[in-house]
Structure 1
């Protein structure tokens, strides 16, 4: 089924309706088209039913009553959009979708703050790669066959850097694997919440 706009005889009611639908579309713009369409049709259905059962009230009054009951799309849809964005992000593994989903969910609990911090930690891998390109004293250091440091060591005379420029692909691989692991954990958390 496809979304179909309601046609009003009252021009003012048509303008108010078009504005409300535009606000809903704006809130839903980052969702998958199917999810966006489903939510839009649900809101439209509520408006249509309210208009059809208006009795003696004018179209405009019925429409305003319906939109008041539904609420501001920016507030009412925020939790639903956050949930749908999280679904989309954990399925697509797209970093931008993950970032948007976390920003929308950041107020929904401490676990989302922890996930945001874990994703920010990925920046450390990128920073170390760039630092290695600028300074050869960045790497994986051992002393007496024991791990000492990962990163920058000022005085390298007593330490052995074991990776050389293999440090860069290793950090890229580590960042990729860390990203996949965090996103899978986020997906697991999401599926756990759905079951409860």
Structure 2
């Protein structure tokens, strides 16, 4: 709901602000038109309730109360993307949601980094399963000559004993699946707890 502005400067300010809102909401995907409409209605009502001053002054006051779009939209976009990603189990949607969470604040950053590391571990397990047939002497669980154990994709495996052999493929796939489900369900639980 765009008000009819008499002042062209107020109209330009409105258009610039809601163009930024539109750019941010476009990154989120669906359900953006409703949120944008609510924001426009809120600003228009705040302008009407404002006392005195020109249109531009009342608009600036209303927009300053609302704040910069990045400050209040990033958490909303992150929540929406994470919720959509946990319903669909879409890695790209979850990754986009986590990136918006990282940009939204310190608590969210810590949570997003924790889940991001979990998804990185998941990618390593998937990489192990894919690379084992191609680069078998460097992928798996190894006992080194000095008694230490190395797991994953290892560059120097000469002189090491491979402990799992081809069993590393189904184990890596099982760990990938279980970790993906656990992380995605953890995001869903965390999302509903707030």
Does the Cα contact within 8 Å between 1:132 and 1:139 map onto a contact in 2?
A: yes
User: Paired residue for 2:165, among 161, 166, 175?
Assistant: 161
Partner of 2:20: 23
Structure 1 residue 47, shift from structure 2 partner: 1.5
Partner of 2:82: 86
Name the CA shift for 1:8/1:170 in 2 (closer, same or farther; >3 Å): same
Partner of 1:182: 183
Name the CA shift for 1:22/1:125 in 2 (closer, same or farther; >3 Å): same
Structure 1 counterpart SS, 2:181: helix
Name the CA shift for 1:157/1:102 in 2 (closer, same or farther; >3 Å): closer
Could you tell me which runs of 5 or more consecutive residues in structure 2 were left unpaired when the two chains were aligned. Answer: 144-148
Does the Cα contact within 8 Å between 1:90 and 1:183 map onto a contact in 2?
A: yes
Does the Cα contact within 8 Å between 2:2 and 2:44 map onto a contact in 1?
A: no
User: Paired residue for 1:8, among 5, 29, 32?
Assistant: 5
Q: Does 1:57 align with 2:53?
A: yes
* Structure 1: distance between partners of 2:107 and 2:187: 14
| Paired residue total | 181
Q: CA RMSD in A?
A: 2.9
Partner of 2:71: 75
Structure 1 residue 160, shift from structure 2 partner: 6.7
Name the CA shift for 1:93/1:6 in 2 (closer, same or farther; >3 Å): farther
Structure 2 counterpart SS, 1:115: helix
Structure 1 counterpart SS, 2:136: coil
Could you tell me which runs of 5 or more consecutive residues in structure 1 were left unpaired when the two chains were aligned. Answer: 143-147
* Structure 1: distance between partners of 2:122 and 2:63: 43
Q: Does 1:120 align with 2:89?
A: no
